[in-house]
Amino acid sequence: MKQFVVIGNPIAHSKSPEIHTTFAEQFGISLQYQRLLANRGAFVICAKHFFEHGSGANITVPFKEDAKQFADVLSDDARLAGAVNTLSQDNGKIKGDNTDGVGLVRDIRDNHGQTFTQKNILIIGAGGASRGVILPIARENPKAITIANRTHEKAQKLTELFSQHTHINAKTFDELNTPFDVIINATSASLSGQKLPLPSQAISTNTFAYDMMYGAEPTAFMQFTKSHGATTADGLGMLVEQAAKSFEIWHGVKPETQDIIENIRSQL
Ligand code: NDP
């Protein structure tokens, strides 16, 4: 039976085993998918040992950058994201991929019926999550991508990194004075329930506001943007869609995602 794991620290909370097992059932694929807790500093030993017999690994916090170093070859998405969340064996080499951005795009486009094409996109945050979604969004041909971040210099660095790939600019929160079509919260502010300094002028009734975080209740960001007329969604679909893209890389088939999204939602 083929072996798969998700490696992280902590890892007990991960929903990946449940998601991948459900996907496998759709195709009658027999596999084992387990959680693997790696000590900080021990990622390489852990990953090497696993790939002596294993077929594929998902990588989560705090090892996504270690996984990028570990991989022999990288996809464009992983290289530009600076992080890997999916490792696979490819002709004796370990290939590193990053499926977070494709997961976000598929959730917003396919599950929520929104489009990025020729739209003004605002991404709040300039950490790993923000960096990982820029290239997949750029492939959708937006009019422009604006990055706003508490530490403005980090937003400026991201624009330099992606300027060859899309129309991209960095703005301070004060400068966000016209409505955006899509606003993505890629900060960790929602984790602590903190409110972002997002001006209401950035939001209109045509705005689709998406929080990468998810939970039983709408986040502070979703509540604020909704109160100014936006349509809102959280990041649960992204979690499932990034898993679906990993599954596709490993097994060559694209799973159906709606049932598992609803199932996990009912457990939150
Ligand atoms: P990082 O630690 O790399 O970056 C955090 C970002 O949040 C930085 O831009 C930071 O700004 C900003 N930030 C944190 N607190 C605040 C605050 N109070 N006000 C304003 N800005 C703040 O984290 P990641 O990029 O890895 O992750 C961000 C979020 O995305 C997490 O909540 C994570 O759970 C989520 N995520 C969801 C996924 C999904 O599948 N749904 C997948 C991946 C991530 P500064 O630079 O100034 O410090």
Structure tokens at 107: 């959730």
* Substitution candidate for ligand 1 out of 15, 149, 188 with most atoms within 8 A of CB: 188
Q: What is the mean pLDDT of the chain?
A: 97
Whether ligand 1 lies within 6 angstroms of the CB of 155 is answered as no
Residues 6+ apart with CB under 8 A from 2: 30, 31, 32, 55, 56
pTM here? 0.95
Whether 263 shows a pLDDT value over 90: the answer reads yes
Known catalytic residues are 64
Q: How many whole angstroms separate alpha carbon 22 and alpha carbon 92?
A: 28
From residue 36, alpha-carbon distances to 2, 19, 117, 203 in Å are 16, 16, 39, 41
- Evaluate if residue 193 carries a pLDDT over 90: no
**Pick from 80, 78, 257, 114: which is nearest to 88 by CA?**
78
- The whole-number pLDDT of residue 191 equals 83
The answer to whether 173 touches 198, Cβ cutoff 8 Å, is yes
Amino acid identity, position 263:
N
Could you tell me if the CB of 172 is within 6 A of ligand 1?
no
Mean pLDDT value of segment 244-248 = 98
Task: Answer whether residue 168 shows pLDDT above 90.
Answer: yes
CB of 133 shorter than 6 A to ligand 1: no
Determine if ligand 1 sits within 6 Å of the CB of residue 81: no
Place of tokens 């209401």: 200
Q: How far is the CA of 177 from the centre of ligand 1 (A)?
A: 23
Closest ligand 1 atom to residue 61 Cα is 26
* pLDDT class of 1 with cuts at 50, 70, 90: very high
Identity at 266, one-letter amino acid code: S
What residues contact residue 154 under an 8 Å CB cut-off, 6+ apart? Answer: 126, 127
**What local confidence, expressed as pLDDT, does residue 258 receive?**
97
Sheet arrangement for strand 31-37: 31-37, 2-8, 56-59, 86-90, 93-97, 73-74
CB atoms within 10 A of CB 172: 12
pLDDT digits (tens, 9 = 90+) for 198-231: 999 999 999 999 999 999 999 999 999 999 999 9
pLDDT score for 190: 84
Tens digit of each residue's pLDDT (9 = 90 or more) over 92-124:
899 999 999 999 999 999 999 999 999 999 999
* C-alpha to C-alpha distance for 84 and 69, rounded to whole angstroms: 9
Of all residues in the chain, the percent with pLDDT exceeding 70 is 100
